[in-house]
Chains A and B, each alone.
Chain A
Amino acid sequence: MSTQTASKFKSRRIPWDVIGSYLVMIFFALLYIGPILMLVNTSLKTTPSFMKDATSLATELHFENFREAWIKANFPRYLLNSILYTFSATIIYILTAVFVAFPIARGYVKYSGVILTLFVIALFLPPALIPQFQLILNLGLYNNPIGYILLFLVNPIGIVILVNYIKTIPKELDEAAAIDGCGYARFVWTIVLPLIRPAVATVIVLHAIGIWNEVIAPTIYLTNKNYYPITRGLIVFQGVYGSNWPTLAAAVLLLTLPMLVLFLFLQRYIVSGLTAGSVKG
C-alpha cells in the first residue's frame, strides 16, 4: 500500500535514499541500544546461565541480582555521597559564576576583557593534576569531602556561556533598575538571574554531569570507602565482582536507568551547552 501512495506523488521510483537513510540510522541505533539491552538481559540471569550462554534470553527473571548489587555494592552510601558532592559544588559554583560573568559581560569591573581571557586560557594550559594534589595535600584536605568539593568550584566554559548570554540582555534594564533604587547585588539576584535562566540551567546541567561522572578525582583524592562517590564505588565493585556479570550488570543498570530518564529531560540543556558558540566558530 505504501508503494501505491508513494507512486501517486513521486512517479514510480523507489526512494532508495530514504531506505538507505533508515538503514544507516537503524544500524547505528543498534550499536547504541545493544549494550543497554545486553545489560538488561544479563542482569536478569543467573551466573550459571550467563556462563553457559552469555547472549541467551533471560527466561526466568532473577530480580535478586538487583537486591544483591544494591546491598553488596554499598549503593545507598555512595549515591548519597555523589548527590552531596554534586549538589553542593554545583550550587556554590553557579552562585559565584553569575557574579563573575555579569560584571565581565557589562564591563562593570576594570580589565573585564583580560579577566575573561584568563578564564579561557585555562583550557589550553597544562593539566593541573600534580600541583592541585600538592595544594589539597598541604591544605590538609586530602581524603576529605570538603577538599573534594573544592576541586569542582571551577568551570571556565560555564563562565563563557554565561557572559555570552548576559550580553543579549539589554543594558537599559540596569539603568532603569538603578534609578528605581535597586542595589547591585539585589539587581543581579532578582532581575538578571531569572532572565538568564536558560543559560544558568545549561551551565548547571553540564557542571553537575561532570561532577557526577568524575572518576579520576575520587581515585586520587578519596581513599576512605565512606567518602566514595558512586563512580568509584562501581569500579571497586567491578574489581571484586568482575567475573559475576549478572550482579555487576544489575549494579550498572541501577545507575544507568535513572540517568537515562534524567537525560530525556535535560537533553536540550546539554545540547545547547555543548554546541554553544560552535556555530559562530
Chain B
Amino acid sequence: MSYHFGRGWSKLTPYLLLLPGLFFYFLISLGPSIATFFFSFTDATGIKGAPVNWIGFDNYREFLFMGRASIDNLDALKRTLIFSFVVTTVQFALGLLVALIVNQKLKFTNIFRTIYFMPVILGVVIQGLMWSLFLYPLGGPMAKLLALFGMRSEFLGGQPAEAFAWVIFVQIWANMGITMMIFIAGLQTIPVELYEAARIDGANAWQVFKNVTWPLLTPSVNTNLLLNAIGSLQAWQLFLVLLGYRNGTQVLGYLIYATGFGQTSGSVTSTFRQGYAAAASIVLFLLVLVIGMTLQTFLQRREKRILG
C-alpha cells in the first residue's frame, strides 16, 4: 500500500516506531518460546552463572522411561488428558445450554448473564479461595447440600481422585461464562427470519435447534472447542491455589513449574531442574500440537460438510 507520510528517510518512521513492540515480543515471548527446545537438551539449573551442558535426549529419556518418577510423569500426562477432556466437554455442553436459555426473550436474562460471567474478572486466586471456603468439609455449604442427598465428600482434602474432581468442577465453574458469551455472540448472528421460516414450516423446538441453530453456530462451536481444549491442557493455576503440589493430583503444567522452580506449596519439594522442566514443556507442547491439529482438521472438515 502506498505510504503518504513523506518520502526518503521519513518512510522509515513506521519501522522505527514498530520496533519497540516487536523487540519486546521477541525478547519476552517468541525468543524464549523457541529457546525452550534448546534448553530441553541441557542440564540447565536455575542458578546464575552455573555451567550449562549439552546432554542430548537424556531429559526426555528420564522423563518418559526412567523409574518411579517417569511413572508419575506418565500419570500426570494421563491426568492432563482426563482434565482437558472433561473440562472441554462439560464446559461446552453447559455453556451452550445456558447460552440458549439466556438468549431467549425473557426478563432479567441480562442479570443472569452477568452473574455467570463474573468469575472471569476475579482471577484464579479469588476463585480458588472462594471455593476452598464453600467446600469447607466440616459443615460448609456444599457439605450440607450433599448431606441432604445422603452424600458426603472430603472435598479438596479427600483422596487424590476426589480432590482432582473438585478442581475440575471449579475450573468449569470459573470459565463457563466465557464459553457462554462466545455462544451468545454466535447466536446473535443467526438471522431471525430463519427461525420464523422454520416456525411457519411447523418445526418444533428440537427441530429448529437441530436444523437451524446448531449448523449456523458452527463458528462458535469451533472457537469454543479449540479454545477450551488447548486452554485446559495448559491450565493448572487452580491446582496451585486449591491443592498445592499434591501427589496423585498433578497435571503436566504444574509438574513443569514444580521441577523447574522447586517452589512447591505442598510437602513435595524438588530442586531447580530447568533443563528437565524444559523437556517436560516440550512434551506438553507436542500434546497440545497433536490434539489441537487433530481437532482443527476435524472441525474444518465438519464445517465444510455443513456450511459448504
Q: Once the chains bind, are B32 and A128 in contact (CB under 8 Å)? A: yes
Q: Total number of A-B contacts with CB less than 8 angstroms?
A: 295
Given known contacts A156-B29, A216-B240, A278-B182, is B121 in contact with A22 (CB within 8 Å)? no
Q: Once the chains bind, are B28 and A126 in contact (CB under 8 Å)? A: no
Q: Once the chains bind, are A130 and B126 in contact (CB under 8 Å)? A: no
CB neighbours (8 Å) of B140 from chain A are: 38, 54-55
Interface residues of B in 206-252 (CB under 8 A from A): 218-220, 222-224, 234, 237, 240-241
A100 to B109, CA, bound (A): 39
Closest chain B residue to A53, Cβ basis: B139
CB neighbours (8 Å) of B274 from chain A are: 130, 133-134
Given known contacts A38-B141, A153-B24, A154-B28, is B218 in contact with A281 (CB within 8 Å)? yes
CB neighbours (8 Å) of B48 from chain A are: 137-138, 142
Closest Cβ of chain B to A242, distance in Å, is: 9
Closest Cβ of chain B to A191, distance in Å, is: 12
CB neighbours (8 Å) of B182 from chain A are: 274-275, 278
In the complex, A271 has a CB within 8 A of chain B: yes
Q: Once the chains bind, are B24 and A35 in contact (CB under 8 Å)? A: no
Contacting B122 at CB < 8 Å: which of A130, A238, A256, A275? Answer: A256
Question: Could you tell me the dominant secondary structure of chain B's interface residues?
Answer: helix
Q: Mark B2-24, 1 if CB is under 8 A from A, else 0.
A: 01111000100111011011101
Contacting B36 at CB < 8 Å: which of A22, A118, A131, A212? Answer: A131
A22 to B98, CA, bound (A): 11
Q: Mark A74-104, 1 if CB is under 8 A from B, else 0.
A: 0000000000000000000000110110111
Q: Once the chains bind, are A100 and B21 in contact (CB under 8 Å)? A: yes
In the complex, A14 has a CB within 8 A of chain B: no
Q: Once the chains bind, are A154 and B18 in contact (CB under 8 Å)? A: no
Given known contacts A34-B141, A122-B29, A220-B261, is B22 in contact with A100 (CB within 8 Å)? yes
Contacting B222 at CB < 8 Å: which of A28, A124, A281? Answer: A281
Closest Cβ of chain A to B105, distance in Å, is: 10
The interface on chain B, measured as residues whose beta carbon lies within 8 A of the other chain's beta carbons, has a size of 102
Contacting B126 at CB < 8 Å: which of A32, A142, A252? Answer: A252
Q: Once the chains bind, are A252 and B129 in contact (CB under 8 Å)? A: yes
Q: Mark B272-287, 1 if CB is under 8 A from A, else 0.
A: 0010011001101100
Q: Mark B160-199, 1 if CB is under 8 A from A, else 0.
A: 0000000000000100001001100110010000000000
CB neighbours (8 Å) of A178 from chain B are: 4-6
Q: Once the chains bind, are A154 and B39 in contact (CB under 8 Å)? A: no
Interface residues of B in 255-308 (CB under 8 A from A): 256-257, 260-261, 263, 265, 274, 277-278, 281-282, 284-285, 288-289, 292, 303
In the complex, B86 has a CB within 8 A of chain A: no
What are 29 A-to-B residue pairs whose CB atoms are below 8 Å?
A25-B98, A32-B118, A33-B115, A36-B130, A38-B140, A100-B22, A103-B17, A109-B18, A125-B36, A127-B36, A129-B32, A129-B256, A129-B260, A130-B36, A130-B39, A133-B46, A133-B261, A134-B39, A134-B44, A178-B5, A220-B263, A234-B126, A248-B129, A255-B126, A260-B122, A263-B118, A267-B117, A270-B117, A278-B182
